[in-house]
Structure 1
């Protein structure tokens, strides 16, 4: 649904059961719908499944037709490999997308020509595409920044084998360069005045992220934004950085007037967890999302000049108020003395004493949980469980040194951080440590399985959704002796010369000391479905209690409503069977 400035409906689009990944405004004329579909890569890329990104222009005028980016073109593959913004050039709206060039030899079908995308400018009125920058060739990886005039003004090249990188400005002038073993360099955007570029690097020695600003005309880079950045705030139509939202969810904007207005707005929501969801380019109107205690997700549109706010909608109208389990931050100390912060959700209507527990580690593992409404945690809490979501070492939002503390700790301290949280809950009198299950998805699914194989004697059951089960099968190719930034990144996570079998739940299946539920999407392109099949076979061969639930048509992210609900039902039912709340 599209609404006008008064909140009145303007147009509705029926898009069916598609996986929407983002919505971008094209001025006041249309919206850009970015979605994904699971498909095969073709013979050039090994015929593997991949989540292909595609885009449609949905005009607000009913007399204009929907435009599909890169569709029905014989020289560009029908897939978007990177979105680089929307710009208004000479009064016309253009979109900037990475795409694979197509071509053919005599008698052959069209095929992808390059291993990396070129940059195309697309007329968003009719879909006409024009190449404006060439692709890199392996081992070089390339990214661009498109300026307000629609020009690829900044190019970042990273050598995938050596980690050498270079940022070039207009005309190919070198602006900055260096070496990053893991290729940890990112273009952020243009400076507020438009005559500089902001980029980010990761210092492996200091375990810290650093941001720099350098003039497009050349000069010495200067450190900027020396804070924990939660979100970058940029003008969507010229790529200029307007400021950031920091870890405390407070805005830090370059313009003093905008900063003063934003502070007043955030003060209106000071009693709830608030995030900046979207904004007009001049920040005169913003959309905020709130979530937390008594709030299962609410959206507001706010006039920053007057402070007037209008509720746009509720995410879960049927789950409000006291039906929501109390959410708080729970802090404890790991066995080696490291301070850990976790999110604790308690069952509504029950005393926080001697409760059964669900340990719910997040995925990533470079991610983190916050004190907001979590549908999975709340489902378990509604059945009488205390739910602990530890932000174990390696998690984000605590600084780079805390994230780096997880390097090489898969199945080791990242795992014991979870059971240390359970022990701390029991010591506080909140939980009964003998009545605990562990549940997770992706890396959290790995942690759930490791909790009953690599570890023993802690949990009554384990639920893994789209989880990694065999590290050699999953990462062995990256660790097979080749030296590049991808291998360095995997080695960083798992540890140099790690014994992958000793850390793999599949290889340790004979040690499983609790029933296991495996749930996996057949279309998972991040962690292949085969990972759970291998785990099921290993547990069955070892005579262990295991159930595999296959989700047809589902990807890694539980994007479909039906299979997401099934995941919820199956996981709650399994935990209730093996670890009853009453």
Structure 2
């Protein structure tokens, strides 16, 4: 197989002018990376081929003078000419995903932090939310439209937040989409209805009526609504429509968080061939079920002895058959089809040591995209073609973050104090020996997420400054099976916190970490863990950085609890005992903290409200503790605005230089 690797492609030349897909290995001289190099938004992301392969869409970073943001770019593959069809400065709205409906129409999902403040009868309705909208771009005329009209939304007394839910793109119908919206009950939202939306005139007609407590509608490949998820209290039922009896049946019912969980994934070409994700030997695996089989016998299709199998189904654009799963924990795409397995093997051989994901295949399967990444490769996009098999590198995620300048990440394991095995990923600075290093513990957010050891711009930034960085999948992390996930329930500030500290103690015992120079940093739940770390072990950590972090667990649970429901999942995950919730809230123990604290928070964060950082700042100031607070204007939970991201990294840079210096000869303050 021919492979052309050209990793320094500059996608964006200026705001209106783009260069063709030509790389130059000498575009950027190898030099010391700066804080700004890590803090900038990706140069390019979200590449997708049109069904015929004639066009390539992507999101690209724009930074020309005072104009900064992200644009949707479309390239004509024949002429190699590109044009911007949509731009945002990441203050009013943000891009979520892009995808082709057909060769002309591009779908773009956006989200916007927003609020509701209205009266219904004698009651005021006020809450903060995110509005999710779908935009349609005619890539020939560059006209941008929405699939639904304002008149359609005016029927609701409270405007629904999710307006981008595409149930079925109807790839063989250029004029319509199937979309889900709440039903109507005297102007109030009730259930989920599937509408057939005419994208030419914005007219929506009911395609499938709502059924009580059922949502997450799914169609088969013949575009019939066949699956829904019913939730009643803590019980979940997977409802499937039987084509013969024409009745809805609850084929699987399970209790939330139990090992009987079944996730519907989709249908094969045969409308009775159905794929599910369910537990196999305590790990989630992929099964195939014949819906005509009364016993619903499960045929194991894909499993992993170490990790849950995640990802969506991959369909052949030629046959419609299911040919693989689009992601796995420790590799790229996992194919069932022999020809695709051979293709994957050849690509893995050509790009060794990377996770190579084959996706966005054209209708004739002659062209496809590959996203390739590892800890030192921020993401290289390849355009692949068959007959002959060839790969051309067409974009690089961060053009300045060259692999030779980044630090390799190593997978390690350690035992927590109670014997639980914890997987972790250690990133060491390139220019220092792995001995007695200042070290940052970097727990992930979620907490039901996981680190995998692939490129992480935060970890690379810290390692570039001279720190050892440890990312650990503490109990409660996703992907390691049901026992590991459920072990995190009601253990915020307790065993989960111990898992983080025990990782630091492992590095100290191995001689890697300086015991007098340990810091802790994180975002979201990781921000909570950073704050709780300096509360629980005030003499262990020398500083803490919390970005969009939780400080008041009592408020978090109360704010997310739906009091009209008999069951709230958050009560089981975190707890509902008020005294316990207050006891695991860092805001209540500011007097115990000895280390300097940096708080950073976006004003429009809808995941963790900024009041958490306000409260923590006020508590620390009242207790006469050292605290620095950075408020990010018009920022959501994800540091999507480049100026805010730059300000965040500069603030962390300055804070760490003062409180936990990594440069030789600089003393570390000891509490």
Output the TM-score relative to the length of structure 2: 0.78
Greater shift, 312-321 or 436-445, is seen at 312-321
Residue 457 of structure 1: CA displacement? 1.7
Whether contact under 8 Å (2:283, 2:309) holds in the other structure is: no
SS at match of 1:117: strand
Residue 415 of structure 1: CA displacement? 0.8
Aligned CA distance change for structure 1 residues 399 and 498 (closer, same or farther; 3 Å)? farther
Greater shift, 336-345 or 444-453, is seen at 336-345
Match of 2:224 among 151, 159, 162: 151
SS at match of 2:339: helix
Q: Give the structure 2 partner of residue 118 of structure 1.
A: 193
Q: Give the structure 1 partner of residue 152 of structure 2.
A: 74
Alpha-carbon separation, structure 1, partners of 2:575 and 2:358: 34
Alpha-carbon separation, structure 2, partners of 1:116 and 1:468: 31
Whether contact under 8 Å (2:134, 2:164) holds in the other structure is: no
Q: Give the structure 1 partner of residue 63 of structure 2.
A: none
Matched, 1:568 2:617: no
Residue 365 of structure 1: CA displacement? 0.8
Alpha-carbon separation, structure 1, partners of 2:296 and 2:285: 11
Matched, 1:199 2:276: yes
Aligned CA distance change for structure 1 residues 304 and 443 (closer, same or farther; 3 Å)? farther
Alpha-carbon separation, structure 1, partners of 2:644 and 2:211: 39
Whether contact under 8 Å (1:261, 1:305) holds in the other structure is: no
Matched, 1:312 2:394: yes
Whether contact under 8 Å (1:360, 1:439) holds in the other structure is: yes
Residue 53 of structure 1: CA displacement? 0.7
Matched, 1:290 2:372: yes
Q: Give the structure 1 partner of residue 169 of structure 2.
A: 86
SS at match of 2:649: helix
SS at match of 2:485: helix
Greater shift, 23-32 or 174-183, is seen at 174-183
Aligned CA distance change for structure 1 residues 155 and 195 (closer, same or farther; 3 Å)? same
Alpha-carbon separation, structure 2, partners of 1:28 and 1:81: 20
Over the aligned positions, Cα root-mean-square deviation in angstroms equals 2.9
Residue 35 of structure 1: CA displacement? 0.8
Residue 123 of structure 1: CA displacement? 2.5
Q: Give the structure 2 partner of residue 39 of structure 1.
A: 114
Deviation readout 1:378-405 (Å, 9 max, x if unpaired): 1111111111111212212322322222
Residue 243 of structure 1: CA displacement? 1.8
Alpha-carbon separation, structure 1, partners of 2:282 and 2:559: 26
SS at match of 1:419: helix
Q: Give the structure 1 partner of residue 615 of structure 2.
A: 534
Alpha-carbon separation, structure 1, partners of 2:625 and 2:384: 55
Greater shift, 7-16 or 392-401, is seen at 7-16
Q: Which runs of no fewer than 5 residues in structure 2 stay unpaired? A: 1-72, 664-671
SS at match of 1:336: coil
Q: Give the structure 2 partner of residue 516 of structure 1.
A: 597
Whether contact under 8 Å (1:408, 1:496) holds in the other structure is: no
Aligned CA distance change for structure 1 residues 408 and 207 (closer, same or farther; 3 Å)? farther
Greater shift, 539-548 or 277-286, is seen at 277-286
Q: Give the structure 2 partner of residue 356 of structure 1.
A: 438
Residue 411 of structure 1: CA displacement? 0.8
Match of 2:384 among 288, 291, 302: 302
Matched, 1:190 2:262: no
Greater shift, 458-467 or 323-332, is seen at 323-332
Match of 1:65 among 124, 143, 147: 143
Alpha-carbon separation, structure 1, partners of 2:275 and 2:132: 27
Q: Give the structure 1 partner of residue 314 of structure 2.
A: 234
Residue 519 of structure 1: CA displacement? 0.8
Whether contact under 8 Å (1:410, 1:494) holds in the other structure is: no
Please list, as runs of the form range in 1=range in 2, the aligned pairs for 1:95-110 lying within 5 A after superposition. Answer: 95-101=177-183
Count the aligned residue pairs.
567
Match of 2:127 among 48, 52, 76: 48
Residue 256 of structure 1: CA displacement? 2.3
Please list, as runs of the form range in 1=range in 2, the aligned pairs for 1:465-504 lying within 5 A after superposition. Answer: 465-476=547-558, 484-485=566-567, 487-494=568-575, 499-504=580-585
Q: Give the structure 2 partner of residue 107 of structure 1.
A: none
Residue 479 of structure 1: CA displacement? 6.6
Alpha-carbon separation, structure 2, partners of 1:94 and 1:229: 33
SS at match of 2:588: coil
Aligned CA distance change for structure 1 residues 88 and 319 (closer, same or farther; 3 Å)? closer
Aligned CA distance change for structure 1 residues 497 and 198 (closer, same or farther; 3 Å)? farther
Match of 2:206 among 127, 131, 138: 131
Whether contact under 8 Å (2:109, 2:132) holds in the other structure is: yes
Alpha-carbon separation, structure 2, partners of 1:185 and 1:522: 38
Please list, as runs of the form range in 1=range in 2, the aligned pairs for 1:422-461 lying within 5 A after superposition. Answer: 422-461=504-543
Deviation readout 1:410-442 (Å, 9 max, x if unpaired): 111211111111111122222102101111000
Matched, 1:391 2:478: no
Whether contact under 8 Å (1:147, 1:153) holds in the other structure is: yes
Q: Give the structure 2 partner of residue 3 of structure 1.
A: 75
Aligned CA distance change for structure 1 residues 425 and 283 (closer, same or farther; 3 Å)? farther
Aligned CA distance change for structure 1 residues 565 and 337 (closer, same or farther; 3 Å)? same
Residue 193 of structure 1: CA displacement? 3.3
Deviation readout 1:422-477 (Å, 9 max, x if unpaired): 11112222210210111100000100000011332211111111111111111036
Residue 523 of structure 1: CA displacement? 0.7
Residue 357 of structure 1: CA displacement? 0.9
Aligned CA distance change for structure 1 residues 550 and 259 (closer, same or farther; 3 Å)? same
Residue 524 of structure 1: CA displacement? 0.8
Q: Give the structure 2 partner of residue 554 of structure 1.
A: 635
Alpha-carbon separation, structure 2, partners of 1:209 and 1:229: 6
Alpha-carbon separation, structure 2, partners of 1:504 and 1:339: 26
Alpha-carbon separation, structure 2, partners of 1:348 and 1:7: 42
SS at match of 2:527: helix
Residue 182 of structure 1: CA displacement? 5.0
Q: Give the structure 2 partner of residue 325 of structure 1.
A: 407
Alpha-carbon separation, structure 2, partners of 1:480 and 1:455: 34
Q: Give the structure 2 partner of residue 108 of structure 1.
A: none
Aligned CA distance change for structure 1 residues 480 and 94 (closer, same or farther; 3 Å)? closer
SS at match of 1:449: helix
Greater relative contact order (Cα < 8 A, sep 6+): 2
SS at match of 1:500: helix
Aligned CA distance change for structure 1 residues 125 and 467 (closer, same or farther; 3 Å)? same
Q: Give the structure 1 partner of residue 16 of structure 2.
A: none
Whether contact under 8 Å (1:479, 1:491) holds in the other structure is: no
Match of 1:343 among 425, 445, 448: 425
Residue 188 of structure 1: CA displacement? 1.3
